[in-house]
Structure 1
Amino acid sequence: MNMNNNPTIDELKDIFAACDDDAGHHLLWVQKNGDVMLSVVPEHLTPVGFEEATTQMQMRYETFVQGNKYVGTSAAADQSFMQSIFDSLLKEWPSAKGRSTVDYIDMF
C-alpha cells in the first residue's frame, strides 16, 4: 500500500491481517516514499528507538501494544477500526509528506 498511489482500505486490511499480535508490539508507519508498513518493534528497542533507527520513516502512529488485538486477522475484520486508521492515514499523510522530521500520530 502506498499513500501516493490511490491506497484502499482493503490494502490496509491485508497489512493488518498479515501480522501476529502475539509477536510483540507493532508500529504502523509510513516511509518517505509513501509505503505503509506495520512492523514488530524489536525487543531490544523502544518505539522511539525503532523510529530513530528507521531512517526512511516519515510518520508513525502510537504503538499497538501486544496482546490488545490491534493487529492480526481480528483487527483487520473490525470495519470501524480499519476505517478510522484508513481515514487518519488519508488525512495525515499530505501534511507529513516531505517534512524533515517524523510526524507522530496519537489516535487513541
Structure 2
Amino acid sequence: MRHCQPVLMTGEHRVQIDLNNPENLTLAAVRQLLASASDDEHTQLRVTRAGIAYISSGKAVGGVDIDGLLFRLETWAKGSGYVGNVAASDEVWVTQIFNALKQNWPKPPFDYIDIY
C-alpha cells in the first residue's frame, strides 16, 4: 500500500490537503496540517470549492475572505491549543478533525460548521 503525504506548498498556506483524492485524507495528513499552524494567532480550518483543506490565520478567519470556500469550521482562538504540535499529538482531536473533513467533503450541510 502506498503512503500518501499531504500536499506541501510554499507560501501563505504551507500545508494543504487535496481532498479530491481520498487517499490524501489520512490521520497523518491531518496531524501535519494541525502541526503546521501557530497557536499564537486565531486560526480556522477552511476547505475551498476546489477541495483544498488548509488552515488560515491572522485576519483571514471568521467571515473574512470566504469567497471560494465550500465550508469552514469555527474560528479557533489563539492560545486555545487547537493547532500546533500539542494539538497534533492529541489523537482524539486529530480524529475529530479528520472526521469533520471526511463527513463534510464534498457536500457539507452548511458552509459554516461548528458542530463536529
TM normalised by structure 1 equals: 0.81
Q: How much identity, in percent, do the aligned residues show?
A: 31
Show the counterpart of 1:20. Answer: 38
Please state if 1:77 is matched with 2:89. yes
Kept in 2: contact 1:28–1:37 (CA 8 A): yes
- Which consecutive aligned stretches of 4+ in structure 1 deviate over 6 angstroms post-superposition? none
SS at match of 1:33: coil
- Any unmatched runs of 5+ in structure 1? none
| Structure-1 residue corresponding to 2:100 | 88
State the structure with bigger RCO (CA 8 A, min sep 6), 1 or 2.
1
| Equivalent pair of 1:27/1:41 in contact (CA under 8 Å) | no
- Out of 35, 38, 62, the position equivalent to 1:47 is 62
Quick one: which of 87, 110, 115 aligns to 1:107? Answer: 115
1:80 to 1:56, Cα distance in 2 relative to 1, 3 A:
same
Tell me how far 1:107 sits from its aligned partner.
Answer: 2.6
For residues 66 and 114 of structure 2, the distance between their equivalents in structure 1, rounded to whole angstroms, comes to 19
Number of positions where the alignment pairs a residue of Structure 1 with one of Structure 2: 98
Q: Name the Cα RMSD after superposition.
A: 1.9
Specify every segment of 5 or more residues in structure 2 that has no aligned partner in the other structure, as ranges: 1-16
> Do the aligned partners of residues 81 and 46 (structure 1) sit closer, same or farther apart at CA in structure 2, a change above 3 Å counting?
closer
Change (3 A) 1:38 1:5: same
Aligned partner of 1:40: which letter? S
Please say if 1:5 is aligned against 2:5. Answer: no
Q: Which has the higher helix share?
A: 1
3-state SS of paired residue (1:39): strand
Q: 2:49 aligns with which of 32, 40, 50?
A: 32
Shift of 1:86: 0.5
Q: Would you say the 8 A contact 1:41–1:47 is kept in 2? A: no
